Amino acid sequence: MTVIWGIVNVTPDSFSDGGRFLDAAQAIEHGLGLWRAGAGILDVGGESTRPGADRVDPAVEQERVLPVISALAAEGATISVDTLNASTAVAAVTAGARIVNDVSGGLADEQMLPAVADTDADYALGHWRGPSADMYANASYRRAAREVAGELREGVGRAAAAGIAPSRIILDPGIGFAKAGDTNWDVLRGLDEITALGHRVLVGTSRKRFLADTLRTTADAQEEISIERRDLATAVTSALAARAGAWAVRVHDVAATRDALAVARAWEG
Task: Tell me the H-state helices in the chain.
Answer: 24-37, 58-74, 86-95, 112-117, 144-162, 182-189, 191-195, 209-215, 227-243, 254-268
What's the number of CA atoms in the CB half-sphere (13 Å) around residue 253? 22
Contact 44, 72 (CB under 8 A): yes
The SS3 call for residue 116 is helix
Q: Is 179 a catalytic residue?
A: no
Annotated catalytic residue, options 208, 216, 230, 243 = 208
Q: Is 258 a catalytic residue?
A: no
The distance from CA 11 to its chain's CA centroid, rounded to whole angstroms, is 15
Long-range contacts of 94-99 (CB under 8 A, 24+ apart): 95/66, 95/69, 95/70, 96/69, 96/70, 96/72, 97/44, 97/69, 97/73, 97/121, 98/122, 99/41, 99/123, 99/124, 99/170
Question: Residue 61 — φ and ψ, nearest 5°?
Answer: -60, -45
C-alpha 154/C-alpha 76 separation (Å) is 35
Question: Residue 182 — φ and ψ, nearest 5°?
Answer: -65, -15
Residues with a known catalytic role: 208, 250
